[in-house]
């Protein structure tokens, strides 16, 4: 893999992060995970806006324009000879030494990682959703950032193990359904779509937001709120979303099979999603 590291394209084994970078020392950094289809970064503007909002909140100076960030991604894709890919763009606080700072991070670091992705499976393979014992920790700021502070997720992944067919499910301290380890959660009961509220402390995924927009376009009734696990286990169908895997059906929750492995609303939204990818410019 060739990595874009602070303006240079270098082999992964030669890419370096400073030992005094606050992304390394304190987790001061944000990242966006994106999917590239035929040289197009899907929902780039939405990812960029979320990134900028997070940088502003963390007082990390955005020293790159939107076009410069886009050029950095495209240069990395070309260097790796990829036209369909997973992209991770990371911006850290930069080299600020040992000790927290009380001022703006004026010299952030930028890294871009890319790797190939498998073609979208048709029909998609369902996943098992398993509740983890560790609760979803509350957001450290006013809302959850897509930040380098990933210990909660890492502990949950250690608990569920490496099986790609299994996704861990976070509940809040109060027992409400929150989100998957690397996904947002949706389910259907009596023809209505449900998803946890951002009040649970979930990451408001770009794909999550796009799916809700698609639901509006399809005139599907939906509700976000605080829901106990029993609401999810009683669902007729359920699915997960993230930017790389798109819409993934769920076939069981905590060992209980759902009524439908790949239900009609999941199919309708997945078809609409695939259509939006095809039409995206």
- Token pair, residue 276, equals 């939006």
C-alpha closest to that of 144 among 271, 50, 18, 77: 50
DSSP 75-104: HHHHHTT-SSEEEEEEEE--B--SS--SS-
- Token pair, residue 220, equals 């599907």
pLDDT at 190: 94
Domains, the chain, in order of start with CATH, read 2-116 (3.30.470.10), 127-279 (3.20.10.10)
Bridge-based pairing of strands 109-116 and 2-5 is antiparallel
List the end-to-end C-alpha distance of the chain, in Å, as a whole number. Answer: 27
- Token pair, residue 13, equals 């084994």
- Token pair, residue 10, equals 């270098």
pLDDT tens readout for residues 158-200: 999 999 999 999 999 999 999 999 999 999 999 999 999 999 9
What's the whole-model pTM score? Answer: 0.94
* pLDDT at position 138 over 90: no
pLDDT tens readout for residues 217-234: 999 999 999 999 999 999
- Tell me how far apart the alpha carbons of residues 175 and 172 are, in angstroms, rounded to a whole number: 5
- Tell me how far apart the alpha carbons of residues 88 and 242 are, in angstroms, rounded to a whole number: 13
């Amino acid at each position: 893999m060739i990595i874009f590291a602070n303006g240079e394209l270098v082999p992964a084994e030669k890419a370096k992060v400073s030992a005094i970078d606050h992304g390394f020392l304190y987790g001061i950094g944000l990242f966006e995970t994106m999917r590239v289809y035929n040289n197009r970064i899907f929902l780039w503007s939405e990812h960029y806006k979320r990134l900028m909002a997070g940088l502003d909140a963390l007082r990390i100076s955005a020293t790159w324009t939107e076009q410069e960030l886009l050029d950095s991604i495209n240069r990395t894709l070309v260097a790796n000879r990829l036209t369909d890919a997973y992209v991770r763009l990371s911006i850290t606080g930069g080299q600020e030494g040992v000790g927290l700072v009380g001022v703006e991070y004026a010299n952030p670091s930028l890294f871009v990682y890319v790797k190939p992705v498998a073609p979208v499976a048709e029909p998609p393979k369902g996943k098992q959703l398993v509740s983890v014992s560790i609760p979803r920790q509350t957001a450290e700021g006013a809302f959850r950032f897509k930040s380098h502070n990933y210990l909660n997720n890492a502990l949950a992944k250690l608990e569920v193990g490496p099986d790609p067919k299994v996704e861990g499910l976070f509940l809040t301290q109060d027992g409400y359904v929150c989100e998957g380890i690397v996904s947002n959660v949706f389910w259907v009961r009596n023809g209505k779509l449900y998803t946890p509220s951002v009040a649970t402390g979930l990451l408001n995924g770009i794909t999550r937001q796009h799916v809700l927009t698609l639901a509006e376009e399809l005139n599907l009734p939906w509700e976000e709120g605080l829901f106990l696990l029993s609401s999810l286990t009683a669902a007729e169908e359920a699915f997960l979303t993230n930017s790389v895997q798109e819409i993934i059906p769920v076939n069981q929750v905590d060992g209980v099979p759902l009524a439908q492995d790949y239900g009609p609303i999941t199919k309708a939204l997945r078809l609409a999603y695939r259509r939006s990818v095809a039409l995206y410019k």
